[in-house]
Amino acid sequence: MILYSPLFSSPIRPRGITSSSPTPRVNSDASDSFCPSGLCSCGRRRLIEAAVATSLFPVFPSTSVASKLQSDDYTATLRKVHPPRPDWYEELYASVLNKGMRTYEDEIAGCKSELFARLKGNAERVLEIGIGTGPNLRYYSADDGVRVFGVDPNRKMERYAQAAAVAAGLPLSNFEFIQAVGEAIPLDDASVDAVVGTLVLCSVKDVDKTLKEIKRVLRPGGLYLFVEHVAAKDGTPLRFIQSVLDPLQQTLADGCHLTRETGTNISRSGFSGVELSMTSLSSASIINPQIYGVASK
């Protein structure tokens, strides 16, 4: 999730394995795009492709969530990564985020629709890290009986996310908000069918540790859907601007980094296959370009 900063009209983010993998391959065939024509207006390039496994493994019982929430290690990590903020600050951030993302969400909607279509019929239990105010909940099909676990370190996001779930037709009995960070996810190994993260790896403390946690909780064959902003190309005016504003962005946006090479982290994190595309959005200002795609465990 991101906010638009009134200071320089740019989106900012409110919070919060490495194993070898093949070097990303650029596919220059414009017809081989991730979003089909008419569904997504984004320009993109396919970097890595692999078949997605479909094996199903048992998921955890609901009681395991509560037991892990009491873990001293989990609590320590949460406090270290996201030190307690004043209630007024957390509430203000959640409120502004809830209202400030509409233009961006409208522009990225085509790409997200195509991404989330990959989950239909393939995911009964979904974990979303950095769920924020729940803008992605409208993409889940309530008819599929999907159960969503939304992780976010800001507890004030919960009521907005619940409202988004209700608006999307997702029963609250099928939605659970968990105060947590991506570096320490309080769910069991191989316990979810899919993990979703949009505009969240920009502000986690440790990108590789978060990706390792995503792989841990995913069942074999599970999917990781992502949309992230990354650093602009070296030598461009936008990259210079990002480098100058990065320290300020981190301060104002609860740790959001403008110059991370998140696509490289994902590609090298040991997933069996990664489909990764790139686009630039007019509503995203300095948090361009953006990458989006699907990784399979």
Q: What range defines the domain where residue 288 resides?
A: 3-296
Looking at residue 26, its pLDDT comes to 34
For the chain, what is the domain count?
A: 1
Looking at residue 98, its pLDDT comes to 86
CATH no. for residue 71?
3.40.50.150
Looking at residue 43, its pLDDT comes to 39
Looking at residue 157, its pLDDT comes to 95
Contact call for residues 281 and 104 (beta carbons, < 8 A) = yes
Looking at residue 93, its pLDDT comes to 85
| Angle at which helices 157-167 and 87-100 cross, to 10° | 30
For each of the chain's 297 residues, which pLDDT tens digit applies?
Answer: 444 333 333 333 333 333 333 333 333 333 333 343 333 444 333 333 333 333 333 333 343 443 454 456 778 888 887 778 888 988 988 888 888 888 999 999 999 999 999 998 889 999 999 999 999 999 987 777 899 999 999 999 999 999 999 999 999 999 999 999 999 999 999 999 999 999 999 999 999 999 999 999 999 999 999 999 999 999 999 999 999 998 988 887 777 899 999 999 999 999 999 999 999 888 888 988 999 999 999
Q: Which of 125, 184, 126 is nearest to 153 (CA)?
A: 184
Looking at residue 222, its pLDDT comes to 96
Cα dihedral sign, 230-233-236-240: positive
